[in-house]
Amino acid sequence: MQGSRGETHSYRWKFKLDAGFLPSPNFCHIHQIKSDSGTPNSGAPLVTITPRYGTPNKLQVIFAAQRGQPGSGRLKEVDLEPFLGVWVEACERARFDQRGSYDLVIRRVSDDSVLLNCRNDTLNLWREYSNFNRPKWGIYRSLNSKEYLRDESVRFADFSIAEGEETKLPAAPTGLSLSTALSDRITITWVDNANDEDQFRVERSTDGMTWRYHATVAAGARSYVDIVHGPETVYQYRIRSENAFGNSAYCEPVKVELRKTNNSRR
């Protein structure tokens, strides 16, 4: 995960803040890109994702310039509330150089809607005497203003990390098919046409128009079993391949109708 000068690194991950997450007026980072600690100018992290106490509470993307240089400040600020209690996915891309670039998009996992979009092509993302930059995930916070602190947790999942300028999107899966051999299970199979995906996103719909995230399936998989509860209905499924650089197109969706027959489904 060490990023050398001139390299471009892409990071992708999911995270979930507790519905009652309590931010602080002081630093409270849940992700950092940091210069290696052995340099005399390491200082604060280069870039952070920071929940911040306020009225209302905010989620900030903050850049910290090398000591004695201008440019420090917020790259983006949005309300924190839409991020609480739900899974979101961050796609981050940074070119580590004195004239570097930074791009971050955070989407709500359930419907893929964009909650934060931040881009800057003129950041100094390489500090003097640095050996490398590295990403960090967790909760990093000041112990000042303890009245704003509580036992806290952030959940993380589905990390994907890549290096390179070229955006290498995975090929879309094809041949999606469904089987309902068991009464409460739908087996989904597909043809994996990529060798560079990191995961598959499975989506489900009951009307063919509103699609919702349903599951993440590991790279190389060719099937997924959906355990279905509830009344008879028509389900439609579609999937796409994903990696640190982005997403493939969706495969052609398919549907299946579940009907109750002698207390079972078919």
Cβ count near 259 (within 10 Å): 11
Residue type at position 187: T
Q: Is the pTM of this model over 0.85?
A: yes
Supply the DSSP string of 148-186, one letter for each residue.
G-----EEEEEEEEEE-SS--PPPPPEEEEEE--STTEE
Domain made up of 8-163: CATH architecture:
Sandwich (2.60)
Domain 174-265 annotated CATH 2.40.128.110: no
Average pLDDT, stretch 23-35?
95
At 260, is the pLDDT very low, low, confident or very high (cuts 50, 70, 90)?
low
Q: Where are the domains of the chain?
A: 8-163, 174-265
At 261, is the pLDDT very low, low, confident or very high (cuts 50, 70, 90)?
low
| 3-state secondary structure at position 127 | coil
Write out pLDDT tens, residues 172-200: 999 999 987 666 789 999 999 999 999 99
Residue with tokens 């391949």: 241
Average of per-residue pLDDT values in the chain: 92
Write out pLDDT tens, residues 80-122: 999 999 999 999 999 999 999 999 999 999 999 999 999 999 9
Residue 159, token pair as written in the block: 């990390």
